[in-house]
Structures are given as structure tokens and as C-alpha cells.
């Protein structure tokens, strides 16, 4: 099983490197990759992510999460010609499930790894530019492997979540911590595995931990400071907040939950959210109702 995961890890990053190399060549950039730079990622970059082929700045290749590319070089006839450009190992005892989607901007790949790690790699060579490893407490409660699904880019920041339910913003050039905020208390069973999403100048996150009786929620923060702007629970009866003030409960108390079961309703948006600019709606899939028989 571990050998399979190792192979999957290498294939995922190697293939991503090849695809981005094709994108770079398709836009007239230098053969073999582009020189690493750290120009700010704008909201226009994010809005147009599904239309540009030289970068991937959003999880899901666009806020809608369609993962669609207009590239034509790789198709049913040419896919057999794919060969590795380079590979990068997330090695060591911390290498477990690898579910991250790499992001690429101006010649730099940003990819998260298991146990809340994040790497910046030179897309042309696979050379490690910097890495960040979160210092995790021993009492974390990840239910379904210690994975991470990816990060978000905005301005000069790369933002991702950790298994002890924190949100961390790093400087894209140096990997230094710019800010770190606690999303929830990991001692209560909360964790974070999804990729954040940038929506209209805010970084939107969910939570993980549905197996441990947590209450799901979606929150939006200022990406420059990490300060929370609004919070919306995904379970009926719990209070939402806007700019630090109560903003009404979610749904109707006891509409679907009997008695006081709503207090531990679960519904964690562990897989992240998507956004449709046309309807101005955030879509939030949830799962894992609580309480449940944890045995």
C-alpha cells in the first residue's frame, strides 16, 4: 500500500509538471519552463483561471471547480507520448496519502503534502525553492488519513489549512509565515484538509472532523490578515456571525433534527467549496451527520 501511494505521489507531481510545461510552450514561453518569479496573483487571475493555459492559480482550475482546460496538445492521440520531465518525492516517514492539486504561477509550483506540509518547486527542474512544515500537536484527530487537498494563491500569499484546524498564510517567495489563525479547536475533533477558495477578496474555508461530533461551518476571512469576516454554520439552529455580531441561526431549529441532536449535527464541508460568479453563490457539499456510532 505504501509503495502504491509513493508511486501515485510521484506520478501526480510529474504529470502536473509536464502539463504545465505544455501550457508554457503553448503560450510562447521559453522551452523547458519559465523563470521563477513572484508577481502578485490578482483576483482577475483567479476569475480567469479556466481561460488561461500558462498557470493554475485556483483549486479545481477555476472557482467553479470544473477542472477544464482549453489546451489541445494532449489528446487521445498524443497522450501515449507523455514522458516524465522530472519527479519530486515527498519522502520520509511523513509521506502518506497525496491528494493535493498543485498550483502554478510564473514558473513556481505550490503543492501541499501529508502532515500539513507545503512546498514551492521550480516548475522547469523540480528544484525545491522552500518548504514549510506545520508543528502539529500529538493529539490531532484526523479521521481519514493525514492528507491535504491543496492551497490558495492571492497577492503574494499562499494559504492552506493544517490538521490542527489552523489556517496559515505564507510568503510565496520565502515560505515565511505572514499570519496564522485558529479555525477551531482540534481538541474538539476539528481539523482542516480542504483547499481554501478565494471569492471576491475573501478566503473561504470549511472544516473537517464530521466523525467526531463537530458542527460544520463555512467562514470567510480577510486574506491579508486572516481576520474573520463572516461565519455560517451548516447545521440548523447554530448562530452565524458577520463582522463579530450575531447574524441569525442557520435554517429552522429542529426542522430535521429531533431534540438536542442539532447541537452535534456534523455536516462538515471537508471537501471544500466552489463559487459561481454568475449567480454569486457559494456551493457547499457536506457530509458525515453526527451523532453517530463511532465504533
The CA distance from 178 to 170, in Å, is: 5
The CA distance from 209 to 186, in Å, is: 9
pLDDT digits (tens, 9 = 90+) for 55-72: 999 999 999 999 988 888
Work out the number of other CB atoms within 10 angstroms of the CB of residue 282: 18
Task: Give φ, ψ of 3 to 5 degrees.
Answer: -65, -40
Given a cut of 60, whether residue 31 has pLDDT beyond it is no
Q: What is the reported pLDDT for 38?
A: 87
The CA distance from 226 to 168, in Å, is: 8
Q: What is the reported pLDDT for 142?
A: 82
Q: What is the reported pLDDT for 1?
A: 31
Residue 87 domain flag? no
Answer yes or no: are the C-beta atoms of 175 and 130 closer than 8 Å. Answer: yes
Q: Which long-range contacts (CB under 8 A, 24 or more apart) does 284-291 make?
A: 284/206, 284/218, 284/234, 286/210, 286/216, 286/234, 287/210, 288/210, 288/211, 289/210, 289/265, 290/210, 290/211, 290/212, 290/213, 290/214, 290/264, 290/265, 290/266, 291/213, 291/261, 291/264, 291/266
Q: What is the reported pLDDT for 257?
A: 87
The CA distance from 26 to 19, in Å, is: 10
Answer yes or no: are the C-beta atoms of 118 and 180 closer than 8 Å. Answer: no
Residue 90 domain flag? no
Average pLDDT, the chain: 86
Q: What is the reported pLDDT for 293?
A: 64
The burial of 83, by beta-carbon neighbours within 10 Å (0-12 exposed, 13-18 middle, 19 or more buried), is given as exposed
Q: What is the reported pLDDT for 139?
A: 84
Q: What is the reported pLDDT for 294?
A: 56
**What percent of the chain is modeled with pLDDT above 70?**
85
Given a cut of 60, whether residue 196 has pLDDT beyond it is yes
Residue 294 domain flag? no
- SS3 of residue 64 by DSSP: coil
Element (H, E) at 241: strand 239-242
| Residue 24: CATH number of its domain | 2.140.10.10
Cell of 284: 457547499
Number of domains the chain contains: 1
The CA distance from 192 to 79, in Å, is: 35
Task: Give φ, ψ of 132 to 5 degrees.
Answer: -130, 130
Write the CB contacts of 82 (distance below 8 Å, at least 6 apart in sequence).
15, 18, 74
Position 225 confidence tier, pLDDT thresholds 50, 70, 90 = very high
Q: What is the reported pLDDT for 67?
A: 92
Residue 295 domain flag? no
The CA distance from 204 to 123, in Å, is: 27
* For residue 218, cis peptide bond before it (omega within 30 degrees of 0): no
Region 15-20: mean pLDDT is 46
Write the CB contacts of 252 (distance below 8 Å, at least 6 apart in sequence).
236, 237
Q: Per mean pLDDT, which range of 15-29, 124-138, 228-242 is the poorest?
A: 15-29
Q: What is the reported pLDDT for 203?
A: 98
Q: What is the reported pLDDT for 93?
A: 62
Residue 154 domain flag? yes
In the beta sheet, which residues pair with residue 155?
A: 41
Position 143 confidence tier, pLDDT thresholds 50, 70, 90 = confident
Residue 54 domain flag? yes
pLDDT digits (tens, 9 = 90+) for 92-120: 666 778 889 999 999 999 999 999 999 99
Residue 89 domain flag? no
Q: Please give the residue range of the domain that contains residue 50.
A: 2-82+96-289
Residue 91 domain flag? no
Specify the higher pLDDT residue, 124 or 212.
Answer: 124
Given a cut of 70, whether residue 152 has pLDDT beyond it is yes
Region 45-63: mean pLDDT is 94
Task: Give φ, ψ of 215 to 5 degrees.
Answer: -110, 120
Q: Per mean pLDDT, which range of 6-10, 32-36, 221-225, 234-238 is the poorest?
A: 6-10
Work out the number of other CB atoms within 10 angstroms of the CB of residue 77: 7
Given a cut of 60, whether residue 185 has pLDDT beyond it is yes
Amino acid at each position: 500500500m505504501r509503495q502504491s501511494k509513493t508511486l501515485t505521489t510521484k506520478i501526480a507531481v510529474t504529470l502536473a509538471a509536464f502539463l504545465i510545461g505544455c501550457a508554457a510552450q503553448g503560450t510562447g514561453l521559453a522551452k523547458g519552463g519559465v523563470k521563477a518569479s513572484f508577481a502578485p496573483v490578482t483576483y482577475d487571475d483567479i476569475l480567469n483561471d479556466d481561460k488561461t493555459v500558462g498557470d493554475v492559480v485556483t483549486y479545481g482550475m477555476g472557482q467553479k471547480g470544473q477542472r477544464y482546460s482549453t489546451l489541445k496538445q494532449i489528446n487521445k492521440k498524443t497522450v501515449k507520448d507523455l514522458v516524465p520531465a522530472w519527479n519530486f518525492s515527498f519522502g520520509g516517514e511523513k509521506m502518506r496519502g497525496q491528494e493535493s492539486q498543485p498550483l502554478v504561477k510564473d514558473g513556481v509550483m505550490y503543492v501541499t503534502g501529508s502532515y500539513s506540509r507545503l512546498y514551492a518547486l521550480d516548475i522547469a527542474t523540480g528544484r525545491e525553492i522552500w518548504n514549510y512544515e506545520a508543528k502539529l500537536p500529538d493529539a490531532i484527530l484526523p479521521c481519514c488519513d493525514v492528507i491535504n487537498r491543496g492551497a490558495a494563491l492571492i497577492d503574494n500569499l499562499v494559504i492552506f489549512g493544517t490538521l490542527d484546524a489552523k489556517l496559515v498564510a505564507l510568503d510565496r517567495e520565502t515560505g515565511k509565515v505572514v499570519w496564522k489563525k485558529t479555525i477551531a479547536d482540534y481538541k474538539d475533533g476539528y481539523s482542516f484538509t480542504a483547499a481554501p477558495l478565494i471569492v471576491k477578496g475573501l478566503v473561504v474555508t470549511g472544516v473537517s472532523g464530521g466523525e467526531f461530533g463537530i458542527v460544520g461551518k463555512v467562514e470567510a476571512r480577510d486574506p491579508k490578515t486572516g481576520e474573520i469576516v463572516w461565519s455560517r454554520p451548516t447545521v440548523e439552529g447554530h448562530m452565524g456571525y458577520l463582522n463579530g455580531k450575531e447574524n441569525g441561526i442557520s435554517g429552522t431549529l429542529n426542522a430535521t433534527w429531533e431534540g438536542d441532536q442539532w447541537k452535534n449535527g456534523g455536516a462538515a464541508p471537508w471537501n471544500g467549496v466552489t463559487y459561481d460568479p454568475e449567480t454569486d453563490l457559494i456551493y457547499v457539499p457536506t457530509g458525515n451527520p453526527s451523532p453517530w456510532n463511532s465504533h
